[in-house]
Amino acid sequence: MPGHETVKQSRWIKPFGEWLHHPNLWHLHRRSVAGGVAAGMFCGLIPGPFQMISAALAAVLFRVNLPVAIFTTLYTNPLTLAPLYMLAYELGALVTGQRNGLSDASFAFPELNWGNWFTVLLEWVVSLGKPLAIGLLLLAVIFAVIGYLAVRVLWYAAVVWEWRRRAERRAKKT
């Protein structure tokens, strides 16, 4: 990770003034990394190209690690997007009791081309309706909580393991 002063002097970050100068945005410690993972996991399910922008805004707002938050959104990609949205739809349908009369054929990803990809994708998402919207929100919260807790537990386990290794080395020296 670059030093705090290096980040402050970057020509890309200078226009944002003091917004991006909080140390938690750039330092790697258990709270900022866990928060960054949670922000990235939550924002990763936002439809469209707004995932990384929203993760960056959430990181600044909650003062968690910015690069980790942005990088974590990459769990959604063209290979995982359709299965995650199907899972979100099923979760939303389970919670709301609505299925919008959709069959498995409705989940078929639409054929996209350069001229119509945005409108066709938007129509597909809207056709899935309220169950998808509620399912995405619930799934995002679930992923954020699991990501946060996983980082905290793994970080704690790594610290305890290192403490034990040091204690064993000290015991061998005496």
Structural contact between residues 158 and 127, judged by C-beta atoms closer than 8 angstroms: no
**Separation CA 3–CA 10 (nearest Å):** 11
Question: What's the structural domain count of the chain?
Answer: 1
Q: What is the pLDDT of residue 43?
A: 97
Helices (H), the chain: 4-9, 30-43, 51-62, 66-72, 81-96, 117-173
Which residue range(s) make up the domain with 81?
Answer: 4-173
Looking at residue 105, its pLDDT comes to 46
Question: Tell me, what's the pLDDT at 69?
Answer: 96
Residue 152 has pLDDT above 80, yes or no: yes
pLDDT tens across 126-136, in order? 777 788 889 99
**pLDDT of 31-61, one tens digit each?**
999 999 999 999 999 876 789 999 999 999 9
135 within 8 A of 57, measured Cβ to Cβ? no
Q: Residue 66's pLDDT is what?
A: 92
pLDDT tens profile 60-109 = 999 999 999 999 999 998 888 888 988 998 999 899 887 765 555 455 65
Q: Which two tokens stand for residue 126?
A: 């809207």
Whole-prediction pTM value? 0.77
Mean pLDDT of 115-143: 82
pLDDT of residue 39: 97
pLDDT of residue 77: 85
Q: What is the pLDDT of residue 4?
A: 62
Instruction: For residue 114, name the pLDDT band (cuts at 50, 70, 90).
Output: confident
